[in-house]
Amino acid sequence: MSSSIPELMTAIEISEPGGPEVLKPAQRPVPAPEANEILIKVAAAGINRPDCLQRLGLYPPPPGASDIPGLEVSGIVVAAGPECKRFQAGDAVCALLTGGGYAEYCTVPEVQCLPVPQGVSMTDAATLPETYFTVWSNVFQRGALQSGETLLVHGGASGIGTTAIQLGKAMGAKVICTVGSDDKAAFCSELGADLCINYNNENFVDVIKGNKEFGGVDVVLDIVGGNYLAGNMKVLRPDGRLVIIAVLGGAKAEINLAQVLMKRLNVTGSTLRARPPAVKAGIAKELEASVWPLFNEQKLKPVIQARFPLEQASQAHAILDANEARGKVMLEINGG
């Protein structure tokens, strides 16, 4: 590596499974890129709920991945392996990682990197990869959401939720979301959601089924699982698609198979982290072609609630643990 790249860097370690306080700054060797990887001097890292699960010991990194948390970054390329063909030193990129983002430097397969979109600052671009890769692959690839259809997003004020609302609307769909407070409902309405349901005051099935404009939905993006399964099945229209990406409300539930048959429903789901770089490369290619131009057209924007320096990662995690997030929380690194 270049002599200008230091041997050591500051990174955030998980000292033991537990609450936000177990996130500790530590000195680590700067990683060296493999043949197909680039080394990024990190400007910022996004915080995501899987990071919190990893901190709790519930979501271990895949084999070979860094034990440092952090699934998305933005920054400047400072070195590239010999098989890299697109990016070179000096390029501003954002990247989807399998781990290692809470650090001053990180390595990542080149195919999982995208240029910073026009209209977005390099720092803010750190909050895009994890949610946009996730929403695009699940709502549009697996869920096949089309213009004119209706999308139901559970957890509308989260990073995934705010991305799904914006992207669904930008692609010509109607969007309904569930949230935990009236303040979050107003927040999601400002982002473009057509109907916001406070699940602490109302039953989303009753509201949707009783709404003359909607009456049902075509795609559900679900982060709850558990006891939401029955309700999701009820609000789906014939040929509807239920896409499950997390099970915060429990991993087990009973399913009425007669509803699947009679309404020709498609129940699917996925996780992103352990999928191979070739799959992530395909998602990145579609994002760059179909989604990245929308930032420059101001049809999409990063939604950021709070920014912290790297050493305050524990305070950042506390916001997600308290379910207080409205959009993304991020770490600013290297003067980002």
CA dihedral sign, ordered 164, 170, 174, 180: positive
Q: Which superfamily does CATH assign the domain made up of 8-128+273-332 to? A: Medium-chain alcohol dehydrogenases, catalytic domain (3.90.180.10)
For the stretch 232-266, pLDDT in tens is: 999 999 999 999 999 988 999 999 999 999 999 99
Helix (H) or strand (E) segment spanning residue 95: strand 92-96
Helix (H) or strand (E) segment spanning residue 242: strand 236-244
User: Which residue ranges in the chain fall short of pLDDT 50?
Assistant: none
**What is the maximum span of the chain, computed from C-alpha positions, in angstroms?**
66
- Sequence spans of domains, the chain: 8-128+273-332, 132-269
Total residue length of the chain: 336
For residues 177 and 193, the answer to whether their CB atoms sit within 8 Å is: yes
Q: Which residues of 279-290 are buried (b: 16+ CB within 10 A; e: fewer)?
A: ebeebbeebeee
For the stretch 108-144, pLDDT in tens is: 999 999 999 999 999 999 999 999 999 999 999 999 9
Distances, alpha carbon 216 to alpha carbons 112, 212, 238, 271, in Å = 36, 9, 9, 26
What is the number of other CB atoms lying within 10 angstroms of the CB of residue 165? 29
User: What are 45's two structure tokens?
Assistant: 């890292």
The whole-number pLDDT of residue 2 equals 61
Fold of 132-269: Rossmann fold (3.40.50)
> Rounded mean pLDDT of the chain?
96
pTM of the full structure: 0.96
For residues 126 and 306, the answer to whether their CB atoms sit within 8 Å is: no
The whole-number pLDDT of residue 325 equals 82
Q: Is 36 helix (H, G, I), strand (E, B) or coil?
A: coil
How does strand 37-47 pair with strand 72-80? antiparallel
